[in-house]
Chains A and B, each alone.
Chain A
Amino acid sequence: MSTATPAHSSAQSGTAAIQSATIETRDWLIAAAAAIVALIALYAVFMDNGSLISATGDYLHEFAHDGRHLFGAPCH
């Protein structure tokens, strides 16, 4: 019984390590997805000139107009 315990605990810590590695990978994937959304949002606010979604026309640009000028982003 005393010999079985270390084997058991090492197997357990192995599973725990795999679990924490999986969680870490999942977190990085979530972070990468959030970063992509963030880049799209920054494009929409600071770069769009009516080409992001054709239906939006110049609406995004004009709505964020003052913010763009203030932030130093190029504007018409």
Chain B
Amino acid sequence: MLPLLGRGMVAGALGGLAAGLFSLLLAEPLMDKAIRAEEARSHEHEPAGGAVQHHEELFSRSTQHAGLVIALVVAGLAIGVLFAVAYALVHRRDPRGNPWPRALAFCAAAFCAVSLFPALRYPAAPPGVGDAGTVGDRQEMWLGSVVLGVLGMFLVWQVYVRLAARPVPVRQCAAAVTAVAVLALLWALPDNPDPVPVSATLLWDFRMLSLASHVLMWAVFAGVFGGLGLRALRTKAPVTAAATGYASAAPVR
């Protein structure tokens, strides 16, 4: 359990760092542009030198740029911990499987549950979009979509496991149909009430970059988590061999 926790934290920190640096380079120019557009909009609405009361800035933009990377690393660490616990729970009956395909499959499921499905239902919005008055409601909806995504992926896994007697194509099709049904279920949640007063190009670019950083985070996560799992197998094998007295017979690498 504890080695899994360690692997999850390393993979999460590296995945968060990769996503953070990627968006620092590509998404930040877009966010700065969105904030300038927002300031221009609020000046239009309050022309007579009225105080722009929307943002009293606590941090400079450059601090918020650093905050982006730090926030994603912290989030990656936390996601890594939760991932490791879920991974251990799901595989508790049979902890000795091949860690590489398991890491890839688990990361694909986690990506759908916490990244792709919520992003399809409630796509990311650039700075300047989002009413402070509705943020509580929007948080409940977003959290609802993440929770439904996670529960839905457990359902997909259960469908796949319970059809163990059927041929593989049947199991995979049933699992895929379940995943699509879970995605469709997300539209039972209420719509995002906020207007989106930014240009379509900026919005599309921002959402693509947001999704790309999610993909990057989970790709790095899967590679590191699976790779560390394989390495643990390799380093553990010679120890058991030595304990049973086969080490001297093994070829020296």
Contact = CB atoms under 8 A, between A and B. Distances in A.
A70 interface: yes
Interface stretch (A1-9, A10-18, A23-31): A23-31
Interface residues of B, number: 53
Interface string A17-50: 0000000100110111011011101101111010
Contacts of A27: 1-2
Contacts of B2: 27, 30-31
Interface residues of A, number: 36
A37 B81 contact: yes
Which of A58, A70, A73, A76 counts the most chain B CB atoms within 10 A?
A70
Contact of B135 (A44, A45, A76): A76
A34 to B, nearest CB: 5
Given A63-B63, A71-B210, A72-B118, A47 B139 contact: yes
A29 B133 CA distance: 40
Contacts of B72: 67, 70-71
A53 interface: no
Contacts of A72: 115, 118-119, 122-124, 142, 210, 214
Contact of B124 (A37, A49, A65, A69): A69
Contacts of B142: 72-74
13 contacts: A37-B78, A45-B71, A45-B74, A49-B136, A59-B59, A62-B57, A63-B71, A66-B23, A66-B65, A66-B67, A71-B71, A76-B130, A76-B132
Interface of B: 1-2, 5, 20, 23, 27-28, 31, 57-59, 63-65, 67-72, 74-75, 77-79, 81-82, 84-85, 88, 115, 118-119, 122-127, 130-132, 135-136, 138-139, 141-143, 209-210, 213-214
Interface of A: 24, 27-28, 30-32, 34-35, 37-39, 41-42, 44-47, 49, 57-59, 62-76
Please list the 10 inter-chain residue pairs (A to B) with the smallest Cβ-Cβ separation, ordered nearest first.
Answer: A67-B71, A74-B138, A38-B78, A72-B124, A27-B1, A64-B71, A76-B132, A66-B68, A38-B81, A63-B67
